[in-house]
Structure 1
Amino acid sequence: MYSNIKTNLPSILIDILKNLQEVGVKPILVGGCVRDSLLNIPNKDFDIELFNIDTLDEVQTVLEKYGTVKQVGKSFGVLILNVDGYDFDFALARLEKKVGHGHRDFEVTTNGNLSFQEASLRRDFTINSIGYDYFEDEYLDPNGGLKDLEEKTLRHIKDETFVEDPLRVYRAIQFIARYELQIDEKTFSLCKDMVEDDELKYLPKERVYEEFKKLFLKANKPSLGFNLLKDLGILKHFPELEALDGCIQDKEYHPEGDVWVHTLMTLDEMAKILKEYKTGDDYRDLYLFYAILCHDLGKPFCTETTDEGRVTSHKHEALGVEPTISFLSRLTDEKKFIEKVVPLVKNHLAPFQLYKAESSLKAVKRLSLKCSIEDLCIVCLADCKGRTIPDKDKCDKAISWVLEQARQMNISQEGLKPIIQGRDLISLGMKPSKEFKDILEFALNLQIDESLEKEEILKAIKEKFMA
């Protein structure tokens, strides 16, 4: 089952480990780099725990041979080295004790004489507590992490230490999704207790956002994490998502069930699509995931059952804007990111509508002014495929048609560029005024509807507004 970690270590890290051993340090690889190497998952981040030493002075001297070293908090005893595309974290063996509600409210005690077993007790899950001794070519597994990894079980290490950090609830969620694990009953119970005790309210939004980011960017089935999110009762912290659970849909278009079920299916479809596209752009992938997560947030505000027994949700795209902003604001203060997501939610049905109506190129041009057509088509495709309809081929046909039109006009990624700008009106002798907005809209309509060139549009402006 397991990959050989020794053969996967970068040569520069091996050199560093040897240098550390020469000055009396016992370096042990720990955490995610060991876990992912065992699963044959490529990794650029390596955590090394340092034993038999109480200060970082000698360690820093060794590391500075290889590049610029950063120190993270003297009390935490962590040195960071970024070199050759790798991120290496070197930390003194330590114990941690919770002394307050904040994520920094930990009393940290470094102790080079700790055993690996003692030091491992501060970690969250058994699969993250496996160590590797390069010089002995030996795995250190005091908490049974290897067995849990083999049995695909997520299990905490120690009751008392686990509950000290409520972020571990969100970490459980993203690990379940990324590694497709089953959560241990006791671990589930402890997580649920933290949720019910309202411990999650003390978490800074930035920390929660980072766990969602890992879930979206690294999981093949994000739905597994969101199902656990619901089962643990965390939806109460995200009322915009909670409203999707139980919100009915028309069985013809959504035989899979309610909006929550559909949304989770679309998340998994998005993961498949982005894996195929391989954009290599984490920022873009992330806002596409949030767009599909939020695409139906407007449905609870407008879903109705007609006299004929059909379920409708007219204008849910536009009604989804406000709850999307509200939801995203709970996770990030980055306005530009939110501004990327909102138009994708507001227009997520447009590509399919244009295809069904066999719309003209004018409609495609206008759509390009609202958001990236490439992005919108990805969201629309995930929405269309994230359901149990029998004729999913129509999804690909619709998206291919819209993309082809946009690419022919070179507006698939960046929107149509208006030929006439405010400076052109000033060049005609006009003085800036409120009327400029109407004139520029008039000019854009001529550009889109009549396909006129710049000089022709300027002539029309003169005749209409300067005569």
Structure 2
Amino acid sequence: MINYPKSLDTIFHKLYTHNILPVIVGGYIRDALLGIPSNDIDIELYGVSSLDKVEEILQEFGKVNSVGKSFGVCKMYYKNLDLDFSLPREDNKIASGHQGFAIKIYKNLDFKTAALRRDFTINAIGYDVVGKKILDPYHGREDLDKKILRSVDKQKFKEDPLRVLRAVVFASRFRMKLDKILVLTCKEMIKEKLLEELPKERVFQELQKLLLKSDKPSLGFNLLKELGAFSFFRELAFLNGQEYKEIFNSLDMLKQLSITNDKEFVILALTVITSKFSTIQTQTFLQRVTNEKTLIKKVLQLHTIDFDLDDFNDYDIYKLAQKTDIAFYAHYLHVTQKKKKIQSIYSKKRKNSMYFINQFLLSSVEKI
């Protein structure tokens, strides 16, 4: 039994009166089984061949967004829930890249066949809301319990290079191990340079998920290294062992700080990751993974700040405040400098440095 928002039952009943069977699928079911709350719910609709009919039925419940109509998907925001309604389909690779697929929708496709297009077994679990039963043709629940990440189908998996990065994110986020076949598949895809086919915005989306959703992002980067993906994230390959250790220890430390703004966290995390790079390496790394010029500018700006923790005065603090938000910069210093050093600075505080003490030292020391 899967617990889902009961406010959806009104929609489900309406669909069923039109002989449409709703099945909750994908990430919501995975997260529900793991006890992780979510407001994003994907619902697959069986017994209907037209999204137009689905939209007609749904419009009494709210505005329907057909942005994904070419993929057999429509979206709706309903009572604080982000709903995706889709029709069972088969995806067939016809061109290179993440979007090079021909999509065919089938009214009477069975769940097992429809789930064959999913990436991992843990994402190929469904819940029949009418029959009140879990649909698990590829044993995803067992893999969740064993913390094993497996692809549903090796050949289908290889058709989408983004799935290599998704494997890394899920493995890091849920502390799972890739099974042997998936490891070999990912290595093959990387060796064939399939990651080069991905648009940088999709690479950045997965990189952000790794940084934001994993409690220990270093696990993901270690896996990228193991799979040979530093041939794509090539600047990381130039780090020596000590540099690599320092960077990813600092990255994991950053996750322990109370940073609630996701954008700020990503900027800080990317600054930590590139902290041992040259300016040119930092630029090439960032330009490979994102088009966000403001983000790149802020990371480079943090790198250029030269603040001597051993010898500073009030004017140095004033100049620092002109360049960046001091409390923001303090997080970066906290994970890249030794804690004892920051504590020793705290002991040097003076009455006329209260701005610095309140916004810089306290924001760091209280984390120690």
Q: 1:363 to 1:83 in 2, by over 3 A?
A: same
The change in CA–CA distance for 1:211 and 1:396 in structure 2 (over 3 A counts) is farther
Does the 8 A contact of 1:365 with 1:406 survive in 2? no
Q: Distance in 1 between matches of 2:203 and 2:352?
A: 40
Q: What is the rounded CA distance, in whole Å, between the counterparts of 1:48 and 1:162 in structure 2?
A: 22
Contact 2:22 2:130 in 1 (8 A): no
Work out whether 1:328 is the aligned partner of 2:286.
yes
**1:5 aligned residue:** 2
Question: Residues of 2 paired with 1:201 and 1:149: CA distance?
Answer: 30
What percentage of residue pairs aligned between the two structures are identical? 38
For the structure 1 residues 406 and 76, does the alpha-carbon distance in structure 2 shift closer, same or farther, using more than 3 Å as the test? farther
Pairing 1:407-422 to 2, within 5 Å after superposition: 408=355, 412=359
| Aligned residues of 1:406 and 1:412 also touching (Cα < 8 A) | no
Contact kept? 1:99, 1:105, Cα under 8 Å: yes
Counterpart CA distance in 1 for 2:205 and 2:44 is 23
Task: Give the corresponding residue for 1:263.
Answer: 247
Question: Are the structure 2 counterparts of residues 55 and 398 from structure 1 closer, same or farther at C-alpha, using a change threshold of 3 Å?
Answer: farther
The two structures, once aligned, show a CA RMSD in angstroms of 2.2
Stretch of structure 1 that moved more, 329-338 or 91-100:
329-338
Code of the aligned partner of 1:289: A
Partner Cα separation in structure 2 for residue 374 and residue 341 of structure 1: 16
Amino acid at match of 2:149: L
State whether structure 2 residue 209 is matched by structure 1 residue 220: no
- CA–CA distance in structure 2, aligned partners of residues 161 and 400 of structure 1: 60
**Which amino acid in structure 1 is aligned with residue 246 of structure 2?**
H
The structural deviation recorded for 1:179 is 0.6
Pick closer, same or farther for the CA change 1:28–1:367 going to 2, 3 Å.
same
Structure 1: distance between partners of 2:197 and 2:210: 21
TM-fit CA distance, 1:74: 3.6
The correspondence for 1:377, drawn from 330, 336, 343, is: 330
Distance (whole Å) between structure 1 residues aligned to residue 295 and residue 220 of structure 2:
23
Amino acid at match of 1:334: E
CA distance in 1, matches of 2:347, 2:149: 41
Q: Distance in 1 between matches of 2:172 and 2:140?
A: 18
SS at match of 2:71: coil
3-state SS of 1:284 partner? helix
Larger mean CA deviation between 82-91 and 329-338 belongs to: 82-91
Unaligned runs of 5+ in 2: 361-368
Moved more, 73-82 or 223-232: 73-82
For the Cα contact (< 8 Å) 2:51–2:69, is it kept in 1?
no
What does residue 363 of structure 2 align with? none
Alignment of 1:52-131 (within 5 A): 52-131=47-126
1:393 Cα deviation after fit:
4.6
**How many residues align structurally?**
359
Cα deviations by residue, 1:343-384 (Å, 9 ceiling, x for unpaired): 22233x73xx33x32x21111111112222112111111223
Which residue of 152, 157, 168 corresponds with 2:152? Answer: 157
Q: 3-state DSSP class of the match of 2:256?
A: helix
Alpha-carbon deviation of 1:85? 2.9
Query: Are 1:209 and 2:204 matched, yes or no?
Result: yes
**Cα drift, residue 68 of structure 1:** 1.3
Q: Which has the higher contact order (CA 8 A, sep 6+)?
A: 2
Q: Structure 1 stretches of 5 or more lacking a match?
A: 248-256, 299-320, 386-391, 414-467
1:283 and 2:263 equivalent? Answer: yes
Compared with structure 1, are the counterparts of its residues 262 and 410 closer, same or farther at alpha carbon in structure 2 (3 Å cutoff)? closer
The question of whether the paired residues in 1 share the 8 Å contact of 2:168 and 2:220 is answered with yes
Matching of residues 370-449 of structure 1 within 5 Å: 370-384=323-337, 392-395=339-342, 398=345, 408=355, 412=359
Measured in 2, the distance between the counterparts of 1:10 and 1:200 equals: 38
Distance change >3 Å, CA 147–CA 393, structure 1 → 2: farther
Contact kept? 1:177, 1:219, Cα under 8 Å: yes
Residues in 2 aligned to 1:41 and 1:397: alpha-carbon distance in whole angstroms:
41
For the residues of structure 1 that align with 2:23 and 2:44, how far apart are their CA atoms?
5
TM-score of the aligned structures, taking structure 1 as reference length: 0.73
C-alpha separation between the residues in 1 aligned to 2:184 and 2:352?
53
